[in-house]
Structure 1
Amino acid sequence: MDPTLTMFISIVATSGVFTTFLCMYTFIKRKEIPGAYTFVIYTATQAIYIFAHAFEMASDSITEVKIWTIFEYVGIGAAPAIGLLIVMQYIGLKLTRRKVIALLLIPAITFIMVITNDYHHFFYKDIYFRENAPFPTTDVVIGQYYIIHGAYIFGCMLAAVVLLLRRWRQTKKAYRLQLATLIMGQFLPMTGAFVYLMGLTPYGIDPVPMILCITSAMYIWSMVSTRMLTVIPIAKDRIFESMREGAVVLDSADRLVDFNGAISSMFPGLTTDMLGLTLDEAWIRLSGTPFPVERTQDGTQEEFVWRDASGNEFFYQTRSSVVLGSSSESIGSLLMLIDVTEQKLLQDQLKQLAYYDGLTKLLNRTEFIRRSKVVLEEDQLGERSTCILLFDIDHFKSINDTYGHDVGDMAIQHVVAIAKRVEADVPGVLIARYGGEEFVIALPSCLLDSAILLAEQIRAQFAAEPITGNHGPITVTASFGLAQATPHAATLEMLLKNADVALYQAKRAGRNRVCVFDQRLEVLINT
């Protein structure tokens, strides 16, 4: 055998060995590789094509060449179409059964045409050994269907390259090396096939089997260095980017490795320039402080508040989980951030409805009683004084009947605005709407004399600040009943009852005044 021919056959056989290794490796790792069976079929058909071509080159007769040509077209007809299927799966395109059948229809027809070529000569009209070649090489006179076949396999490889190139910008830099490997894995055989179909190769030698030696070596290198087959980065990226929740991938040193588009929308200042920084370092750049949540690896949910550049508040729930390597060792973590702003606002609205009065935004009666009991217990334990002040708008029904309910609502809001001024003077004060036009104030750690002074200030401000509206100034006054917790009035219920008795006395005494329930003398003192 000619040494040059031996060299070519050796290169082709080496290519076949590499491709067979790819096929076997993919099958062994099939549970870890998305679309593994498609890749197994792809590399198997390539291996059949390559080894059949090597046997064809070593053949001594046209009969042997024809036999090995049939085996060649098991692979050469199907491999480009299957390669296109792999690329479509890789970029996340949905493949229906009809699409798969349509892609494999021409290869199936091609195989039938090659097997039956001696009866119709539509694929190639003649096959012969070249006379002027330094070693035995075959050539063919192409038939009509050969042109269809050639255009189809070239079109499949070109389509695969175009689809991968279109994903280039959408692929993160960390994964572009894998993408480039796939692109070259399709582009190089396509170029070789084009050169061969154009009849530009020396002595009509098909360069594709030898080129597949290069592409197989590239795939093997990519498997080892970038784990191309165990993780499909573009498919992962598609899922990663389509997630509504924000996702941040951290390595074992808590450094930023990756994050998805949802995170970029939540925190526009977080850019790819921060990859490699620790989470705290990146957060300091964003907000001036480290990451606000202490993360655990047990899936515990925590919440934090984020304020954007416009001062808008957003609430995020975080959940962290361990990312395990192939040997179940921890190689990093995944931090999920879920926007719960709407749920938080809804909770606040429900809380507002449950705990607060709709018109005044004060505590409602039920919540006031619950909180006041806690205040009273704390003051009793600390031997401090607690006072309760009840007040009622004077002649409120007359205001409603004379001016309408809208003015009545204005009157309620007016007295509330004045009463809330006491919050600046008494820490921990509780103010609530006790009834329709009746209000209550709990004054923790407040002596009776101070409570009387505050009540008089509020009463005087009511009388001095009339409502201004379309009906002219309307003076609103109120009657006040004040009680202090004592050993005889140790419960909130008794304290409220005593304040109510004092309020009733204020009304009987002519309204617009403060009355104090004196528990020592069991009489009311009119102030």
Structure 2
Amino acid sequence: MNPILTMFISLIATSGVFTVFLCIYAYLKRKDIPGAYTFIIYTAVQAIYIFAHAFEMASDTLAQVKGWTMIEYIGIAGAPAIGLLIVMQYVGINMNRKRISLLFVIPTLTFIIVITNDFHHLFYKSMYFRENTPFLTTDTVIGQYYIVHGAYTFGCMLAAVVLLLRRWRQTKKAYRLQLLTLMAGQFLPMTGAFVYLMGVTPYGVDPVPMLLCVTSAMYIWAIVSTKMLTVIPIAKESIFESMREGVVVLDFADRLIDFNGAMIYMFPGLSTQMLGLTLDEAWIQLSGTPFPVERSQDGEQVEMVWRNTAGREFYYQIRSSVVRGRNGDPIGSLLMLIDVTEQHLLQDQLEQLAYYDGLTKLFNRTEFLRRSKSLLTEMQRDNLPLSIILFDIDHFKNINDTYGHDVGDLAIQHVVAIVKRLEAEAPEALIGRYGGEEFVIALPGCSLEQAAILAERIRAQLAAESMSGSFGTMSVTASFGLSQAGSGQFELSGKAGQTLESLLRDADIALYQAKRAGRNQVRVFEPQAASPLLT
């Protein structure tokens, strides 16, 4: 074999060995390498191309050359597209399967056209051995599709280089060697292919397989020195856009400079046309009002409520941070909006369970007692009266025994609905479910006479409105007992320094008197003798 040819084949074989090493390394480290399988395929197809080219150069006949050329294109057809995918993964550009498959339309057509070239000559019009060369070297007359494949190959490589160059300024110096290595991996083969097509290479030899030896060596060096495959820098833009929290960047004049995709999801009306507006101006376009909360100090948190066009409320926790320049001076601010709606809903549910009765949505006994004690203390401090109305449903046990507990629950809800209708007359009233069918109302600043009038209205409404359902029609009545804490003009029934427990006990005594008197009536507690205030 000619020594020059031996040298070329040896260089190509060395390139193939380096490439196979990279392929094996990527496979062994596949769990630690992001996008490992793409790199494995990339190095595997390059190895096929390199070794097939070496066998092509050692061939003695055109038939052998054509056979090895077909094998070469198993690798060379798709390698540029796979290389572009590797670069896109490196810079954080995600592609769905449909778009990835579109990248391989031309490489697939290239391979099919190459293996069927003898039938149409779209790729090579002819192939022949060169004359006056120290060893057999083939040359070709290219066909129309060769131009398509060449343009696509150069396009993929150029796009990869451009993507890497765009990341240069955003990449820390520690990772720029990785960028240089990846750019060389695309730029050197592209340059070699261009020189080969210009026909200025020694003896017409394709330099690309030998240049891949250089790029493979650079990859191995970068893997060892910068952990190129296992440690990949993430672009700031990728972090910014992938954050689940909404982020707004403002300049020193509170103008909108940037925001991420999460903000658009949270506030669908937000658009890039608002960039340059102040935050208040942008918010007026969104909701008709300025930004609803004041910006907090650096690191502090505030909360805002947002109601969307469907009327649903969202709660956002806002964290503000100062953005400083290189000299440490403030140059703007950054707002991070965290969706805490679910936490609010959970908190509301826990509050409902802790403070409210599940059937009636009134205060439960514990919460009513807690609030009423505070109210009583306040009224005594201001020398104002506090009246208590205690009432329960008449013959409730008979309702449960005759119709069942479901109808009993309906009776309770029927009573509560009527009581709530009269809330407008006493907006400060506290209403609670005191027991099973027993209810209690605390009326701050309300005299005993006023409380008796309100109780009588409730009683009359209950007596007048029957309850209907699948069980038929049923009249639901209730009995009422009243007491009062107060001083001065309430000497007859109010006692200074009364406790809530004594007030409730007095109201219970009056309620018992109403029951004994025939039910469906209002009685007020009197210390000396029980006599109805209203009959």
Per the TM superposition, whether the score is higher than 0.5 is yes
Match of 1:38 in 2: none
Asked if structure 1 preserves the Cα contact closer than 8 Å seen for 2:483 and 2:503, the reply is: yes
Match of 1:465 in 2: 465
Relative to structure 1, is the Cα distance of residues 105 and 168 closer, same or farther in structure 2, using a 3 angstrom cutoff?
closer
Asked if structure 1 preserves the Cα contact closer than 8 Å seen for 2:389 and 2:507, the reply is: yes
1:334 and 2:334 are equivalent in the alignment: yes
Shift of 1:408: 0.9
Match of 1:501 in 2: 509
CA distance in 1, matches of 2:273, 2:283: 13
CA distance in 2, matches of 1:402, 1:102: 79
1:392 and 2:400 are equivalent in the alignment: no
Match of 2:193 in 1: 194
**Identity of aligned pairs, percent?**
56
- Give per-residue Cα distances to partners, 1:378-432, cap 9 Å, x unaligned: 2222222211100011111011111111111111001111111221011211110
Shift of 1:434: 0.1
1:260 and 2:257 are equivalent in the alignment: no
Match of 1:320 in 2: 320
Shift of 1:245: 2.1
Match of 2:383 in 1: 383
Relative to structure 1, is the Cα distance of residues 196 and 412 closer, same or farther in structure 2, using a 3 angstrom cutoff?
same
1:480 and 2:480 are equivalent in the alignment: yes
Match of 2:236 in 1: 236
Structure 2: unaligned runs, 5 residues or longer = 27-32, 59-66, 96-160, 169-182, 209-231, 487-494
Relative to structure 1, is the Cα distance of residues 200 and 292 closer, same or farther in structure 2, using a 3 angstrom cutoff?
farther
Match of 2:499 in 1: 491
Output the TM-score relative to the length of structure 1.
0.63
CA distance in 2, matches of 1:523, 1:383: 26
CA distance in 2, matches of 1:322, 1:512: 68
- Give per-residue Cα distances to partners, 1:286-344, cap 9 Å, x unaligned: 11112222222443332222111111122222222233444444443332222222221
Residue range with higher mean Cα deviation, 246-255 or 434-443: 246-255
1:511 and 2:519 are equivalent in the alignment: yes
The one-letter amino acid paired with 1:303 is E
- Give per-residue Cα distances to partners, 1:240-272, cap 9 Å, x unaligned: 232222222333333323222222211111112
Relative to structure 1, is the Cα distance of residues 347 and 429 closer, same or farther in structure 2, using a 3 angstrom cutoff?
same
**For 1:276-315, what aligned pairs fall within 5 Å after superposition?**
276-315=276-315
Relative to structure 1, is the Cα distance of residues 253 and 149 closer, same or farther in structure 2, using a 3 angstrom cutoff?
farther
CA distance in 1, matches of 2:191, 2:269: 47
The one-letter amino acid paired with 1:247 is V
SS in 2 for 1:286: helix
1:362 and 2:362 are equivalent in the alignment: yes
SS in 2 for 1:390: strand
- Give per-residue Cα distances to partners, 1:22-62, cap 9 Å, x unaligned: xxxxxxxxxxxxxxxxxxxxxxxxxxxxxxxxxxxxxxxxx
Asked if structure 1 preserves the Cα contact closer than 8 Å seen for 2:49 and 2:76, the reply is: no
- Give per-residue Cα distances to partners, 1:181-237, cap 9 Å, x unaligned: 449978876654332021356999x999xxxxxxxxxxxxxxxxxxxxxxx997323
SS in 2 for 1:317: strand
Asked if structure 2 preserves the Cα contact closer than 8 Å seen for 1:390 and 1:440, the reply is: yes
CA distance in 2, matches of 1:399, 1:159: 78
Residue range with higher mean Cα deviation, 458-467 or 371-380: 371-380
CA distance in 2, matches of 1:460, 1:109: 96
1:94 and 2:34 are equivalent in the alignment: yes
CA distance in 1, matches of 2:198, 2:416: 95
The one-letter amino acid paired with 1:516 is V
Shift of 1:149: 11
CA distance in 1, matches of 2:247, 2:207: 46
CA distance in 2, matches of 1:247, 1:494: 57
Asked if structure 2 preserves the Cα contact closer than 8 Å seen for 1:257 and 1:276, the reply is: yes
Asked if structure 1 preserves the Cα contact closer than 8 Å seen for 2:48 and 2:72, the reply is: no
CA distance in 2, matches of 1:428, 1:237: 54
CA distance in 2, matches of 1:499, 1:377: 18
SS in 1 for 2:414: helix
Relative to structure 1, is the Cα distance of residues 421 and 109 closer, same or farther in structure 2, using a 3 angstrom cutoff?
closer
The one-letter amino acid paired with 2:282 is A
Relative to structure 1, is the Cα distance of residues 121 and 353 closer, same or farther in structure 2, using a 3 angstrom cutoff?
closer
CA distance in 1, matches of 2:283, 2:162: 30
Asked if structure 2 preserves the Cα contact closer than 8 Å seen for 1:302 and 1:319, the reply is: yes
